[in-house]
Amino acid sequence: MSDFDPGRWKPAPFLPETDARDGSLIFVVATLCFLACLTALTVLATDRAARGWSDQLTGQATVIVRAKGSETPDSAAARAAEALSGLPGVGEVRALEKEKAEALIAPWLGDTADLDDLPVPRLVAVDLDPKAPATPQSLDKALKAQGLDAVVDDHSIWLKDIQRAAGIARWIGVGVFVLIAAAAGAVVAFATRAGLTARHEVVEVLHLAGAEDTFIARLFQMRFARMAALAGLFGAGGAAIMGAILRLMGGGQGLTPVLPIVWTDLLAVLPCPVAAGLVAAVAARLTAQSLIAKMT
């Protein structure tokens, strides 16, 4: 066949294009990327949930009032509410009705208990100015001034718990992320090793024809970076779809308050293909260079 025209010849790739292992490598890296992106989405949502909860808690305090002497609980609660409203840093103040306080303790006492006979303390809900909230001490002082037996709960114990839990969740997320990146790197290093071994002949011929080690290493680097970026695209796409489903399933508020995903969170998966490509490039480069260097 003399239909070959050297004028139109295009150089072939130095390395064979496809390999039976490519499919499984892409699958593994795509899965890792999918998990990494889900982790990122989860961390973002957890962080948002924690912030939401702590915002709610910071904006409120609860005062527990016990009636002293002959005073009725209702009057004590009303006096406490009066003492607190109008203080700097305090917004709305509401004395909760007797039924509400009873409803809160009922689970511990059971239906049979006759709560009327018990000196059930009353609750006063205090909304604090979110910009300059009144301190628990100032609330306490105002209550003492009225001679009330009252305890101020500014929710700081819960707040600390939530913040600690959110912090732990964040660090676990980072840890999982690093682990996944390392696993992806190891998988690519492993694949590079296998790829170099499978193409030993090609590498040797290039080497003997005067190709520099860095040139050969770059061939593998590019090849695996491209493959990992593609896998990253698949994984990130899968995670974005998953995130979108979770968002839609949760209605207008997403899965609030458990996993409040917002649409912009999905942008977090965007760097994934690039990151996967970079991790693969570094892993393939280092592996290829050390293997080629051993070839004399």
Residues that bind another protein (CB under 8 A): 1-2, 4, 6-7, 9-17, 201-202, 204-213, 215, 293, 296
Which residue, 83 or 196, has its beta carbon nearer to another protein? 196
Quote the least distance from Cβ 7 to another protein, whole Å. Answer: 6
**What is the β-pairing status of strands 149-153 and 122-128?**
unpaired
Quote the least distance from Cβ 293 to another protein, whole Å. Answer: 8
Quote the least distance from Cβ 184 to another protein, whole Å. Answer: 27
Quote the least distance from Cβ 291 to another protein, whole Å. Answer: 14
Residue 282 CA, chain-centre distance (Å), reads: 26
Contact (Cβ atoms closer than 8 angstroms) between residue 36 and residue 287: no
- Both tokens of 106, joined, read 């009922």
Question: Alpha-carbon distance 14 to 10, whole Å?
Answer: 12
Which residue, 8 or 131, has its beta carbon nearer to another protein? 8
Q: What is the dihedral of CA 143, 146, 149, 154, to 10 degrees?
A: -10
Question: Looking at beta carbons, which pairs linking 261-264 to residues 24 or more positions away fall under 8 Å?
Answer: 261/41, 261/44, 261/45, 262/48
Question: 3-state SS of the chain: helix, strand, coil percent to 5?
Answer: 65, 10, 25
Helix (H, G, I), strand (E, B) or coil at 259: strand
Which residue, 72 or 214, has its beta carbon nearer to another protein? 214
Which residue, 14 or 190, has its beta carbon nearer to another protein? 14
Quote the least distance from Cβ 288 to another protein, whole Å. Answer: 15
Quote the least distance from Cβ 203 to another protein, whole Å. Answer: 11
Question: Alpha-carbon distance 182 to 185, whole Å?
Answer: 5
Which residue, 202 or 230, has its beta carbon nearer to another protein? 202
Which residue, 55 or 212, has its beta carbon nearer to another protein? 212
